[in-house]
Amino acid sequence: MVAAGRPNSDYERGRITALGGRLVEVHCACPLDVAARRYAERAGGSHPVHVVTAVSAEFLAEFDRPVGLGELIVVDTSGPVDIPALAGEVRTLLAAPV
């Protein structure tokens, strides 16, 4: 299961917690200006229902930290990510005894 949430939203934190089971959070970290640029670059190819084509670094700052539930893996996404290694780390944490 993949869930996303804003760290300062009690509502979203409550909904994620209500899922139950073991939680592993993968927090993708990169500079806010890089995230804003990437968003704008990808927005051009989005479905027309997605009307927001640019977001500011200030807006993205709301998501610039982990939600803080469960085990945490922080991934530097300012460059390439080793997806197989990351998936292995998630599987290891999910399989670990409670």
Residue boundaries of the structural domains of the chain: 24-95
Report field, pTM of the whole predicted structure over 0.85: no
**Residue pLDDT, tens place only, 9-31:** 889 889 888 988 888 999 999 99
What are the backbone dihedrals phi and psi of residue 89, each rounded to the nearest 5 degrees, phi first?
Answer: -65, -40
Residues in the chain predicted with pLDDT less than 50, given as ranges, are: none
For 72, the token pair is 């945490």
17 CB-near residues (< 8 Å, 6+ apart): 23, 69
